[in-house]
Amino acid sequence: MPKLKTKSSSKKRFRLTSTGKVRANVAFKRHGMRKRPQKMKRKARGTMILSAADSRIVKSYMPNG
């Protein structure tokens, strides 16, 4: 059985928390922030925890955790 490889794109975009949840960056922050509401800009700071359905997909990309 060969070693399972991690997808390089998921290495760069996601991290696992100690409890096994997937942490990711918030989307829609690259440009055009002037027209976004202040509340959205505040909530988009830092990172977020992915939903269960999305985290299941991401974990399949990272077999070694």
Q: What pLDDT was estimated at residue 65?
A: 82
8: helix, coil or strand? helix
Per-residue pLDDT at 31: 96
pLDDT at 48: 97
Q: List, in sequence order, every residue forming a beta bridge with 49; answer none if it has no partner.
A: 23
pLDDT value, residue 38: 97
User: What is the per-residue pLDDT across 18-59, written as a single tens digit (0 to 9) for each?
Assistant: 999 999 999 999 999 999 999 999 999 999 999 999 999 999
- Going along the chain from its start, the domains and CATH numbers come out as 8-61 (4.10.410.60)
Query: What b/e readout covers 3-23, taking b as 16+ CB neighbours within 10 angstroms?
Result: eeeeeeebeeebeeeeeeebe
pTM over 0.95: no
